[in-house]
Structure 1
Amino acid sequence: MLSFANAKINLGLHVVGKRSDGYHDLETIFYPVKIYDVVEINPIQTGVTTFSSEGISIPGDDINLCEKAYRIVKQDFDIPAVAINLIKRIPIGAGMGGGSADAASVLKMLNETFNLQVTNAQLEVYARLLGADCPFFIENKPVYATGIGTDFESINLDLNAYYIVVINPGIHVSTVEAYRGVEARKSEFDLRTIVKLPVQEWKFYLKNDFEDSIFEQYPRIMELKDALYLSGALYASMSGFWILCIWYI
């Protein structure tokens, strides 16, 4: 079975509190975009589950999230081994959820391939064991995300009438560095209300709290955002550590 695992973007991001466990409470909008990895699983009658990948190189020697997804399901169901093949196209470390999308695709494909009849709610429980934004890719619909990015509220948002472009500024900013420069505070505007405004008004209200400190350290990213507005973008902002922009079709 073959699946196209899409990426996601963040529309706005507010850091609203520091938790006792060291994590931060966030508010953001997750929106699926048409940038894909390709994930395939094939049952193996004998042997053990295997994983292979091509395309963008995946760093590290840890077990891939796709394999972890299989192991989680295997704990509850007597399913055979599978060969997992991945064509990696979603950039790694960009905040676009590529690894989470791949793992969620494996969960859904195992459910369908072996007729496990697991509900989406249960698939989301499995997904929470794999990563903060992994549950989003089960339903794969726009949500208002809170907590550490795992508490979802469905929202009505359709951007199919627009071009969405995601740009790599060629600058790496670590998560630790990004959080060091931001101060947790309650947001002034409700993201759910902002995204109901016309897209051309988002630039006045829809903010990413990481931008101020990162732009100060890396003015080239701010220059890129400004250039996008000069080129006619309706909205431009950081999403993860990349820049997204929206144009009319």
Structure 2
Amino acid sequence: MITFPNAKINIGLNITHKRTDGYHNLETIFYPVKIKEALEVIESAEMDFETSGIEIPGPANDNLCLQAYQLMRKDHDLPNIKIHLHKNIPIGAGLGGGSADTAFFIKLINDKFEMQLSDEKMESYCRQLGADCAFFIQNKPVYAFNKGDEFEPITLDLSDYHLALVMPPVHVSTAEAYRGVTPKQPKRSLKELIKMPIEEWQSKITNDFEDHILLNHPQIKKVKQDLLSAGALFSMMSGSGASVYGIFKEKVDLSFLEKDNLVFSDIQ
């Protein structure tokens, strides 16, 4: 059985509070986009995990899909399986690729072995594995808060626009991203701001990571400037970066961008 995990972008991101458990409370909008990879599972005599495509750093045994399976096996009698993941979503891009793989894997296992798990139960597994992982169970636009693992549904449809995403050859670690942020309550919640016309978002919606990351990584800053210069109604770094997306009224030719950037077009 095969499934195709997709990425997400963050529309706005406010770091609101430092928690005693080391995490941060935040608010953001998660919006699914059509950058996809492939995940296949078959029954096997022994547990096995293989990858292709983009190289995934770290030991294979640390992969969240395997961790998810071990969690599920504590509650259910499940056989050994072979997992193959073809990685296409850039790593360290703020796109939630690892979280998407995990959530889609849990949904695939639920379907393959006819477990009849509810969305709430699958989300509970996800919340033990990653802050934004549970989003991908229902995979619909949401207002996310607390650690980014609590959601309220929102009405947001960007299908009439053209979304492009650019990944420059830059790595931004999570530690670096949070090191430059001072938590604070926003003057207006993203729940309100997201209701404004997209033409007004650029001056009102912010990503708290951008100020210091764009300062420290001029390649990311240039990508954002290039997208706005090309006519983007709204452009922002997704999550803690390093990818930057633009929302355009019309399809745009981005061939002028520097050749070492990875470009994804029409991802809405």
- Quickly name the TM-score band, shorter chain normalised: over 0.9
Contact 1:15 1:26 in 2 (8 A): yes
Once structures 1 and 2 are overlaid, which stretch shifts more, 233-242 or 163-172? 163-172
Unaligned ranges ≥5, structure 1? none
Contact 1:8 1:33 in 2 (8 A): yes
The equivalent of 1:208 in structure 2 is: 207
The equivalent of 2:119 in structure 1 is: 120
2:75 aligned with 1:91, yes or no? no
2-structure distance, mates of 1:59, 1:4:
21
Contact 1:3 1:105 in 2 (8 A): yes
2-structure distance, mates of 1:169, 1:101:
21
* Structure 1 residue 173: Cα displacement: 2.0
The equivalent of 1:55 in structure 2 is: 53
Contact 1:14 1:27 in 2 (8 A): yes
2-structure distance, mates of 1:170, 1:94:
10
Contact 1:189 1:205 in 2 (8 A): no
* Structure 1 residue 22: Cα displacement: 2.0
**Aligned partner letter, 1:7:** A
**Aligned partner letter, 1:227:** D
1:33-52 matched pairs, under 5 angstroms: 33-44=33-44, 47-52=45-50
- After superposition, the C-alpha distances for 1:134-157 in whole angstroms (9 at most, x for unaligned) are 101100011111111111111111
* Structure 1 residue 5: Cα displacement: 0.2
1-structure distance, mates of 2:78, 2:216:
50
The equivalent of 1:226 in structure 2 is: 225
2-structure distance, mates of 1:50, 1:11:
37
Identity of aligned residues (%): 48
1-structure distance, mates of 2:95, 2:228:
22
1-structure distance, mates of 2:164, 2:31:
13
- After superposition, the C-alpha distances for 1:179-216 in whole angstroms (9 at most, x for unaligned) are 22111110112111111111111101110011112222
1-structure distance, mates of 2:102, 2:177:
26
2:138 aligned with 1:173, yes or no? no
* Structure 1 residue 229: Cα displacement: 1.2
1-structure distance, mates of 2:97, 2:43:
23
Give the secondary structure class of the aligned counterpart of 1:10.
strand
2:23 aligned with 1:23, yes or no? yes
Contact 1:237 1:245 in 2 (8 A): yes
Contact 1:235 1:247 in 2 (8 A): yes
2-structure distance, mates of 1:75, 1:83:
18
The equivalent of 1:161 in structure 2 is: 160
Give the secondary structure class of the aligned counterpart of 2:5.
strand
The equivalent of 2:245 in structure 1 is: 244
1-structure distance, mates of 2:226, 2:89:
24
* Structure 1 residue 16: Cα displacement: 0.8
**Aligned partner letter, 2:193:** I
**Number of residue equivalences:** 247
* Structure 1 residue 172: Cα displacement: 1.8
Contact 1:10 1:28 in 2 (8 A): yes
Give the secondary structure class of the aligned counterpart of 1:110.
helix
2-structure distance, mates of 1:162, 1:155:
18
The equivalent of 1:132 in structure 2 is: 131
Give the secondary structure class of the aligned counterpart of 1:41.
strand
The equivalent of 2:195 in structure 1 is: 196
Once structures 1 and 2 are overlaid, which stretch shifts more, 222-231 or 11-20? 222-231
Contact 1:29 1:142 in 2 (8 A): yes
* Structure 1 residue 230: Cα displacement: 1.3
1-structure distance, mates of 2:209, 2:114:
43
RMSD: 1.3
2-structure distance, mates of 1:67, 1:21:
25
Once structures 1 and 2 are overlaid, which stretch shifts more, 62-71 or 92-101? 62-71
Unaligned ranges ≥5, structure 2? 251-268
